[in-house]
C-alpha cells in the first residue's frame, strides 16, 4: 500500500461518521496506506470494525485495531500505537475534548503530523505549546473545522474580504444537536467540569466568523443552563454566548443538546451576519440545516434521531453510488479531511508549503487559529462564573 500510515485515536461517533470513511476513501484512491484505530476499549474498535455502513461502503477495507482483544480499558494505549508508527506519518485525534492536548503532544514529539478534531485544546497555553512543537519539527498540526470547507463559507470569505458585504456589526448563530445525544457517550465526558454546549459546538461559529471576516474576538460571556444527563451527570446542556469582536461587532451564539428528536434534520443550525458600508446594510445569512431537501419516507427509519419526514443535508457527508462496488463519500466533511491529509502528504516533499498554509489560513492550524482556544478558555471561565464577561488576551 502506498501513502502514509494513518492512526486514528478515538473510535466514537465522529470517527464512524466522518473520519474513518474519509480516510478509507483516500486509501481506496491510493493516497494513504494502512489505517489503524486506537481506543481505550476493545469493544469500541470491535464495534467500529463491524459497522454495517462502513462495511457496505468500503467492502474489503479494514483497519488495525488497538486493543486487539478484550481486557481492562487502556487509557494510555495510544502512546504505544503512536510509538509503532514510523516518523512523519499521520495521527488523527478524535478523543473527548479534554484529551486532545495530551494525544496531540504525544504524536508531535514522535514526529507525526496531527489532524485534531475541534477544539484543539481547552487552554490557550496548550494550543501555543502544540504550535511551537509543530513549528520546531516542520509538522502540520491541523484542526478539523470542516464548516470551512462548506462552499458557502468559502464563497462568503472571498466576497466579504472583497468588501461585498461591508463590515460585520451584529450577528447570531445557533447549533442545537438533537435531544438523544444526551443518551450517548457524551454523558460520560461533556460534563459541567470539562465542557459545555458552547465549547462543544459553538466554537464552530466563532471560527467561521473569523474565517469569513478575518476579525479577532476580544471578549466573551457565556451563560449556561445546567441540566442532567440520563446517567445523572450534570452538564451545561444549553448555552447562550456573546462574542465581542475587535471592531466592536457582537455575535450571539446559542447552543444545546435539545433539538427535538421528532423534528426534521439531524440538528438545527445557521448563521446571520448584519453588516454595513457605503450607506447601505449588508446581509449574509446561511441556513445550515435546511438545504432545500424534503423527504417523506413510507417507513420510520430505525437509526437514532431519524424521522419519517426528513430534511437531509446533502452537503456535510453523504454516500453516493458511483458504480464500481461500495459507495463514495461526498460533502465538505470528506473534502476537509482530504484537503488536510493531502497537505500533510505534500509537505513531505515541499517543506516550504507549511509556511504558506499557516499564512493562507484556509486550514486551521495550531499556529494560525489560537483565537479559538483563547475564546474557549475565556468561555469556560465565564460560564463557571454565571456568564461574567471575560476579556480575551491578544495572541
Ligand atoms: N463537528 C465536529 O467537528 C465534531 C463533531 C463531533 C465530535 N467532534 C469532536 O470529536 C471528539 C470525539 O467526539 P465523538 O462524538 O466521536 O465522541 P464519542 O464519545 O462518540 O467518542 C470518543 C471516543 O474517544 C475514545 N477514547 C476516550 N478516551 C480514550 C483514550 N484514553 N484513548 C483512546 N481512545 C479514547 C472513546 O473510546 C470513544 O471511542 C470530541 O472532541 C468532539 O468535540 C467534532
Ligand 1 centroid to Cα of residue 186, in Å, is 9
In angstroms, rounded to a whole number, what is the distance separating the alpha carbons of residues 256 and 202?
A: 9
231 Cβ closer than 6 Å to some ligand 1 atom = no
- What are the pLDDT digits (tens) for 222-270? 999 999 999 999 999 999 999 999 999 999 999 999 999 999 988 999 9
3-state class (DSSP) for residue 165: coil
Ligand 1 pocket: which of 9, 10, 206, 269 to mutate (most atoms <8 Å of CB)?
10
The answer to whether the CB of 44 is under 6 A from ligand 1 is yes
**Ligand 1 pocket, 199 CB below 6 A?**
no
Residue 264 pLDDT: 93
Would the pLDDT of 1 be above 70? no
How many angstroms is it from 97 CA to the middle of ligand 1? 7
Say if pTM beats, i.e. exceeds, 0.85. Answer: yes
How does residue 97 score in pLDDT terms, banded at 50, 70 and 90? confident
Q: Are 10 and 81 in contact (CB under 8 A)?
A: no
Residue with cell 466522518: 18
pLDDT in tens, 122-168: 899 999 999 999 999 999 999 999 999 999 999 999 999 999 999 99
User: What's the CA-to-centroid distance between 319 and ligand 1, angstroms?
Assistant: 22
- For the CA atoms of 362, 318, 290, 302, what is the dihedral angle to 10 degrees? -140
Q: Is the pLDDT of residue 114 over 90?
A: yes
Percent residues over pLDDT 90 in the chain? 94
Q: Please return the burial class of 360, using the count of CB atoms within 10 Å of its CB with bins 0-12, 13-18 and 19+.
A: exposed
Spell out the residues 6+ positions from residue 233 whose beta carbon is closer than 8 angstroms to its own: 187, 188, 191
Cell numbers 468500503 correspond to what residue?
Answer: 58
Average pLDDT, the chain: 96
Residue having the nearest C-alpha atom to atom 37 of ligand 1: 39
CB 4 within 8 A of CB 36: no
User: For residue 357, which phi and psi values (nearest 5 degrees)?
Assistant: -65, -45
Confidence of residue 393 (pLDDT cuts 50, 70, 90): confident
**Mean pLDDT, rounded, for 183-203:** 92
Q: C-alpha dihedral over 209, 211, 214, 219, to 10 degrees? A: 40
Whether residue 274 is predicted with pLDDT greater than 80 in this model: the reply is yes
Residue 305's pLDDT is what? 81
Would the CB of 10 count as within 6 Å of ligand 1?
yes
CA-to-CA distance for 225 and 387, rounded, in angstroms?
Answer: 10
Q: Is the pLDDT of residue 394 over 80?
A: no
Average pLDDT on 282-305 reads 93
State the Cα–Cα distance between residues 48 and 46, nearest whole angstrom. 5
Nearest CA to ligand 1 atom 7: 14
CA of 212 to the centre of ligand 1 (A): 27
With 70 as the cut, is the pLDDT of residue 109 above it? yes
**11-58, pLDDT tens digit by residue?**
999 999 999 999 999 999 999 999 999 999 999 999 999 999 999 999
- Residue indicated by cell numbers 470517527: 15
CA pair distance 305, 263, nearest whole angstrom: 9
Is 91 a residue whose pLDDT tops 90? yes
Q: CB-based contacts of 46: which residues, under 8 Å, 6+ apart?
A: 65
How far, in Å, CA of 224 to CA of 383, rounded?
6
| Cβ–Cβ < 8 Å for 93, 100 | yes
Q: At how many degrees (to 10) do helices 353-360 and 332-347 cross? A: 140
Q: What is the mean pLDDT of residues 268-292?
A: 96
Does the CB atom of residue 175 touch ligand 1 within 6 A?
no
Ligand 1 center to 9 CA (angstroms): 9
Gap from CA of 94 to ligand 1 centroid (Å) = 5
User: 282 CB contacts (<8 Å, ≥6 apart)?
Assistant: 164, 165, 166, 167, 274, 275, 276
Q: Which of 95, 126, 229 gets mutated to test ligand 1 (max ligand atoms within 8 A of its CB)?
A: 95
What phi and psi, each to the nearest 5 degrees, are found at residue 151?
-55, -30
Supply angle C-alpha 122, 198, 273, rounded to 5.
120
Ligand 1 atom with least separation from CA of 200: 43
- Index of the ligand 1 atom closest to the CA of residue 14: 16
Residues whose CB is less than 8 angstroms from the CB of residue 193 and which lie 6 or more positions away in sequence, other chains included: none
**Contact 12 CB / ligand 1 (< 6 Å):** yes
Amino acid at each position: 500500500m502506498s501513502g502514509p500510515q494513518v492512526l486514528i485515536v478515538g473510535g466514537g461517533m465522529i470517527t464512524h461518521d466522518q473520519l474513518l470513511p474519509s480516510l478509507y476513501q483516500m486509501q481506496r484512491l491510493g493516497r494513504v496506506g494502512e489505517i489503524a484505530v486506537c481506543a481505550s476499549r476493545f469493544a469500541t474498535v470491535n464495534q467500529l470494525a463491524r459497522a454495517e455502513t462502513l462495511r457496505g461502503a468500503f467492502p474489503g477495507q479494514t483497519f488495525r485495531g488497538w486493543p486487539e482483544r478484550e481486557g481492562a480499558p487502556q487509557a494510555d494505549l495510544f502512546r504505544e500505537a503512536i510509538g509503532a508508527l514510523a516518523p512523519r506519518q499521520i495521527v488523527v485525534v478524535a478523543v473527548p475534548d479534554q484529551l486532545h492536548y495530551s494525544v496531540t503532544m504525544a504524536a508531535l514529539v514522535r514526529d507525526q503530523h496531527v489532524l485534531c478534531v475541534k477544539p484543539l485544546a481547552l487552554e490557550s497555553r496548550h494550543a501555543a505549546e502544540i504550535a511551537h512543537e509543530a513549528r520546531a519539527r516542520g509538522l502540520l498540526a491541523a484542526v478539523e473545522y470542516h464548516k470551512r470547507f462548506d462552499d458557502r463559507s468559502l464563497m462568503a470569505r472571498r466576497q466579504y474580504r472583497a468588501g461585498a458585504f461591508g463590515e460585520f456589526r451584529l450577528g447570531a448563530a445557533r447549533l442545537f444537536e438533537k435531544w438523544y445525544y444526551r443518551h450517548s457517550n457524551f454523558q460520560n465526558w461533556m460534563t459541567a467540569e470539562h465542557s459545555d454546549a458552547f465549547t462543544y459546538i459553538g466554537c464552530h461559529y466563532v471560527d467561521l466568523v473569523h474565517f469569513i471576516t478575518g476579525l479577532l474576538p476580544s471578549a466573551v460571556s457565556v451563560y449556561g443552563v445546567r441540566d442532567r444527563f440520563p446517567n445523572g451527570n450534570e452538564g451545561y446542556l444549553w448555552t447562550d454566548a456573546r462574542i465581542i469582536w475587535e471592531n466592536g461587532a457582537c455575535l450571539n451564539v446559542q447552543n444545546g443538546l435539545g433539538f427535538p428528536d421528532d423534528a426534521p434534520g439531524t440538528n438545527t443550525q445557521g448563521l446571520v451576519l448584519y453588516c454595513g458600508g457605503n450607506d447601505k446594510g449588508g446581509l449574509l445569512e446561511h441556513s445550515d440545516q435546511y438545504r432545500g431537501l424534503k423527504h417523506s419516507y413510507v417507513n420510520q427509519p430505525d437509526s437514532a434521531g431519524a424521522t419519517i419526514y426528513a430534511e437531509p443535508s446533502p452537503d456535510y457527508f453523504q454516500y453516493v453510488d458511483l458504480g464500481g462496488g461500495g459507495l463514495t463519500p461526498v460533502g465538505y466533511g470528506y473534502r476537509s479531511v482530504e484537503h488536510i491529509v493531502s497537505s500533510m502528504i505534500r509537505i513531505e516533499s515541499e517543506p516550504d508549503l507549511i509556511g504558506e498554509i499557516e499564512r493562507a489560513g484556509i486550514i486551521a492550524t495550531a499556529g494560525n487559529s489560537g483565537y479559538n482556544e483563547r475564546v474557549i478558555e475565556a468561555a469556560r471561565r465565564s460560564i463557571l462564573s454565571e456568564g461574567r464577561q471575560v476579556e480575551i488576551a491578544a495572541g
